Amino acid sequence: MTSTVVAGAGGFIGGHLVKRLLQDGHEVRAVDVKPIDEWYQVHDGADSYTADLSEKDAAYRAVDGAGEVYALAADMGGMGFIENNKAACMLSVLTSTHLLMGARDCHVERFFFSSSACVYAADKQLDTEVTALVESDAYPAMPEDGYGWEKLFTERMCRHFREDFGLQTRVARYHNVYGPNGTWTGGREKAPAAICRKVAMAKLHGDSAIEVWGDGLQTRSFMYIDDCLEGTLRLTRSDITEPLNVGSSELVSINEMMDIVCDIAGVELERIHDLSAPQGVRGRNSDNTLINRLMGWEPSISLRKGLERTYDWIENEVLAAAAAGDRVNV
């Protein structure tokens, strides 16, 4: 049996994807640059090992003999990280390039690349009442500086590797994926995890207020991890060759998401708005017209349901850290 390779398997989405592929009966090769004891999930059924896939030889070894490759490996995090680490984000192009070259030369059947809604033109995301982004809104190009440019560039490489070499590439533009078993502290966490952590810690310590980045009016859509996995697998096995939005169309403000988390936690908290903190675009939402038309499917897990599962996991992590006397980096 040929292997299914997950590059970036030690990360949040990668760990969940390895689990799903194993459940579906695949032979999985899981690779990440981090030491295995730093992976978010390690699954006994997978061939898991550490390698720096930005190096050409390591990338070729990883994809040799594979039928499918899921390229999730990237140096990234939430808005606080990508706004302050633009060069590091762009260096992920080395990993993407070498994985594509290896997939071409090792005759991989399908190559999936995880792109991002950060590729979309900034001038279409200036209002909180944003018009949902359709796939064509990526051009004329004006993506998120650093991270968004790397994603858009690799999208083009996927297209040209398909056109020039016949490698079957598939590209998903993820919109704010969240869920348990991911980053929730340390500076790379995204908004849902950060809010869940802040609420859980305030509840634990009896605090009456928490800090919110920005005015809280900025809007986003957030996709629960199970929907992300389903969309990823459907797209990879489809005949859809152009980049496709894979995201929820449920638009919510940061203040509204905080209301949901506080309600789940059973607390009422004041908000201290830090207007100097990184905020990203004012509004971003996924237009799911194309994915509905081409696949007859779109993400459907509500934000409330996804946050209930996410908050429960993060609160347990906060409580475990407190019981162990560990300092939580906020």
Catalytic residue among 70, 147, 178, 224: 147
Q: What is the 3-state secondary structure (H, E, C) of the chain?
A: CCEEEEECCCCHHHHHHHHHHHHCCCCEEEEECCCHHHCCCCCCCCEEEECCCCCHHHHHHHHCCEEEEEECCCCCCCHHHHCCCHHHHHCHHHHHHHHHHHHHHCCCCEEEEEEEHHHCCHHHCCCCCCCCECHHHHCCCCCCCCHHHHHHHHHHHHHHHHHHHCCEEEEEEECCEECCCCCCCCCCCCHHHHHHHHHHHHHHHCCCEEEEECCCCCEEECEEHHHHHHHHHHHHCCCCCCCEEECCCCEEEHHHHHHHHHHHHCCCCEEEEECCCCCCCCECCECCHHHHHHHCCCCCCCHHHHHHHHHHHHHHHHHHHHHCCCCCCC
Q: Is 60 a catalytic residue?
A: no
Query: Catalytic residue positions?
Result: 147
